[in-house]
Amino acid sequence: MKAVQFADYGGPEVLRPVEVPEPHAGPGQIRVAVRAAGVNPMDWKVRSGAMRQMMPLTLPAIPGSDVAGVVDEVGAGVTGVEVGDEVFGFATADGYAEYAVLEHFVAKPPTMSWEEAAGVPVVAETAVRSLDLLGVREGHVLLVNGASGGVGLTAAQLARARGATVLGTSSPANHDFLRGLGVIPTSYGAGLVERVRKLAPDGVDAALDTAGKGAIPDLIAITGTPERVLTISDPDAPGHGVRMTTGAEGRSYQALAEVARLFERGEFDLPVARTFDLEQAAEAQEISQGGHVRGKLVLRVA
């Protein structure tokens, strides 16, 4: 099958289109013919070698974990899904490929495009895990620092669906877009504490940092305590008494069904910022690394 692989850690240029043997579904797994594969910042972080202590890989490796496609093998013990079903979910490994093996997946809503579906898994799981760890519920005021990226947009919309009021930081160019999703926008950077106090004079119950760009002291000042702050990407946060979630503490796979339900009700929109052919994975990862994608980058596989 066609895939994109890296044989050494390094820059985007180490990604190469290759032909490799197809994987097959084992017990508890399905295989899909991949139609689209999502690109996440984790993909370039792993490829660069920056994660090699935490996630040692056997090279060569195929990046990617988010896929949407058509089921073509159903392994022993898997029920409720048939060959020909359209699904999206987590590839056990090797997402940038023509075929992928999945253990956690849901039916793709018929009105959700392949590209939209391929953008959902990692950001949905991360957003639900984060909102649950923060205990976000109806009536809360949540600040999402980095609200226009994949995790931020997802967390903001899921929090709104729970009945929370959501403030979100982004570049000024994304403020109208956030407003359209019911999020109260403001800019990140110097003066954040004062801007948020004006927008939420009665206080902020919880803050989720997706950006990992040094805002933790401000988020503690805004919520009043490190316990009400959570980061997904700032390794310095624990030094401030703030928890960083990695997923090692458990995954929120129910997020896939939650997002599919909201999408069908017209209450969830994760825009696909740009699509690429599978062979253009290096370009997609380079843009992801630039850190200013609104929504998702997606590879078209078939």
Ligand X SMILES: NC(=O)c1ccc[n+]([C@@H]2O[C@H](COP(=O)([O-])OP(=O)(O)OC[C@H]3O[C@@H](n4cnc5c(N)ncnc54)[C@H](OP(=O)(O)O)[C@@H]3O)[C@@H](O)[C@H]2O)c1
| Bridge-based pairing state of the strands 165-170 and 184-187 | parallel
Nearest distance in Å: CB 80, ligand X: 27
Comparing CB distances to ligand X, the nearer of 164 and 287 is: 287
Contacts 24+ apart (CB under 8 A), 6-9: 6/47, 6/59, 6/60, 6/61, 6/63, 7/59, 7/60, 8/59, 9/47, 9/48, 9/49, 9/52, 9/59
Nearer to ligand X, 170 or 223 (CB): 170
Distance from C-alpha of 210 to C-alpha of 271, rounded to nearest angstrom = 18
Q: Which is nearer to ligand X, 71 or 120 (CB)?
A: 120
Nearer to ligand X, 54 or 59 (CB): 54
Query: Site residues (CB under 6 A) for ligand X?
Result: 40-42, 45, 122-123, 126, 145-146, 148-152, 169-171, 174, 188, 210-213, 232-233, 245-247, 288, 291-294
Spatial contact of 65 and 121, defined as CB atoms under 8 Å apart: yes
Closest distance of CB 51 from ligand X, Å: 9
Question: In this structure, is the dihedral angle defined by the CA atoms of residues 39, 290, 278 and 14, taken in order, positive or negative?
Answer: negative
Q: Rank residues 78 and 282 by Cβ distance to ligand X and give the closer one.
A: 282
Residues present in the chain in total: 302
Q: Which residues, 6+ apart, have CB-to-CB distance to 295 below 8 Å?
A: 119, 148, 149, 150, 153, 270, 271, 272, 273
Q: Tell me the residue nearest to ligand X as measured from the CB.
A: 149
Considering the complex, what minimum distance in angstroms separates the CB of residue 247 from ligand X? 4
**Whole-number minimum distance, CB 271 to ligand X, in Å?**
11
* Alpha-carbon Rg for the chain in angstroms: 19
CB-nearer residue toward ligand X: 54 or 83 = 54
- Nearest distance from residue 22's CB to ligand X, in Å? 28
Contacts of 80 by beta carbon, 8 Å cutoff, 6+ apart: none
Task: Please report how close the Cβ of residue 75 comes to ligand X at its closest, in angstroms.
Answer: 27
